[in-house]
Amino acid sequence: MSAANESHGIQFSKPLAAHETPIPGVVLYDLPVHGDNRGWFKENWQREKMLSLGLPDFGPVQNNISFNEKAGTTRGIHAEPWDKYISVATGRIFGAWVDLREGPSFGTVFTTELDPSKAIFIPRGVGNAFQTLEDGTAYTYLVNDHWSADAQSQYTFLNLADETVSIPWPIPLEQAELSDKDRAHPRLADVVPMSPRKILVLGADGQLGRALKATYDGDPRVEFAGRREFDLANPASYSARNWKNYSAIINAAAYTAVDKAETPEGRRAAWSINVSAVAQLARVAVEHRLTLVHISSDYVFDGSVEVHSEDEPFSPLGVYGQTKAAGDAVVSVVPRHYIVRTSWVIGEGSNFVRTMASLAERGVKPSVVNDQFGRLSFTEDIAAGIRHLLEAEAPFGVYNLTNDGDPESWADVASSVYSLTGHNGDDVTGVTSEEYFKDKDAAPRPAHSVLDLSKLRATGFTAPSGRVRLEDYLGQEVPTP
């Protein structure tokens, strides 16, 4: 074999390729190495090519090199609180990786030899160990967080000689070069698994926040913050948290007083919560590579078309809609984002359905708008859809999310509420928006709020029909005609 084809056992010119391993998220890569009689060259890290193979865009910020003078030098097993991309600069190593993350794959092992023609991606919490097979071996690794003494305190360790994982070291450990610290690490039975990063839910006291609490009930990975725990208008809220401990933010907080937003005081409050605070969250998400889930509204449209797709240009009619559109535009520049657009939200707390049920109980015969059309969105289904997007790792972007079923007017919904609560649906009189809002200080509303749900369905999620959810919400079956 000529030097142009092979040098020190390195296979030259093999194609770039990715190989899954038994440990979730750990991926082994073949790297093209180009050589001749002078030596060799490789692209150790090429972002566009690696992303096209599915490597996470993990945002490395530090590059480290470990030089090992003698064969048999053994280091590990260390699980660190960041992601790593590891390759060999010169020599060969035997690598061993053990999943030390909390979850069903805890204790799973993968081993392989690495030379300059291979690289491996190791996600946060996977234990990492190397044994050099040649003198003068050096390996290099990219990490997506800066080392610090505080970060090191979050490491999880496993003993190199643990009998449970039983790593087949090529050079027996009694003949290898180890540090005293590595010899003293605990066995697997005594290892406390590394906890996953948390999801932070903001606006936990609102209708959607309460539904998210129910959806994630008992899940220690999810942290909830109401206004007292996280004041969106206070800059200190954004600097007081260690964002390295989080993977995602669900922003369920918003200013939603549609009519009050048209007043000077309301306008300032709407822009503060729906835009300025969202910009702060977007900055945090970008700087710390977090996923930002943001709740949008049908009010970003003027309602001039009957069904709205995710890519329809903004055309808000009032201040509330303008602030929601501005917030959407801010979030859209976050690399990892889900904008969840919904309409006619119904959940725990004050809402249209509860108001109509109360009027029915009191014998009131209301006039209700009959020329605005949409679908109800029950918060339990919005929360379930958000969880689905995160757990399915759906492509980032904008998703419409309402309940399914035929579009209805507000008067249709009110009539159904009356019927479902044992009253006469004909007690509801339909009127036009012009008639209803005459001589009232009210914000303009979109006439058509129906959102196209096909993009969300394609990810595997379909919410129940609004009619079924309305029956459940009112705790009563539809009366038989």
Identify the helix (H) or strand (E) that includes residue 7.
strand 6-7
Instruction: Determine which one of 29, 85, 139, 141 is catalytic.
Output: 141
- Tell me the two tokens of residue 280: 């702060």
Are 390 and 254 contained in the same domain?
yes
Where among 163, 190, 217 does a domain terminate?
A: 190
Are 184 and 234 contained in the same domain?
no
- Give the integer Cα–Cα distance in Å for 169 and 119: 19
Instruction: Determine which one of 29, 78, 85, 288 is catalytic.
Output: 78
- Give the integer Cα–Cα distance in Å for 87 and 80: 17
Q: Does any domain span residue 69?
A: yes
Are 73 and 40 contained in the same domain?
yes
Are 464 and 332 contained in the same domain?
yes
- Give the integer Cα–Cα distance in Å for 299 and 314: 9
pLDDT band at 479 (very low <50, low <70, confident <90, very high): very low
The whole domain housing 427 covers: 198-474
Q: Does residue 141 carry a catalytic annotation?
A: yes
The angle subtended at Cα 377 by Cα 376 and Cα 378, nearest 5°, is: 115
Are 334 and 233 contained in the same domain?
yes
Q: Does residue 78 carry a catalytic annotation?
A: yes
CB 356 within 8 A of CB 439: no
- Indicate which CATH number applies to the domain containing 16: 2.60.120.10
184-204 average pLDDT score: 95
pLDDT of residue 4: 39
Q: Does any domain span residue 268?
A: yes
Q: Does any domain span residue 479?
A: no
Are 417 and 269 contained in the same domain?
yes
- Count of domains for the chain: 2
Where among 137, 168, 190 does a domain terminate?
A: 190
pLDDT band at 161 (very low <50, low <70, confident <90, very high): very high
Where among 143, 163, 190 does a domain terminate?
A: 190
**Can you give the pTM of this predicted structure?**
0.85
Are 159 and 33 contained in the same domain?
yes
Are 341 and 285 contained in the same domain?
yes
Residue 2 clears pLDDT 50, i.e. is over it: no
Are 404 and 439 contained in the same domain?
yes
Q: Does any domain span residue 1?
A: no
Say how far residue 121 (Cα) sits from the centre of its chain: 20
Are 145 and 28 contained in the same domain?
yes
Are 286 and 245 contained in the same domain?
yes
Between 41-45, 342-346, 427-431, the lowest mean confidence (pLDDT) is in 41-45
pLDDT of residue 480: 39
Give the other-Cβ count within 10 Å of 331's Cβ: 23
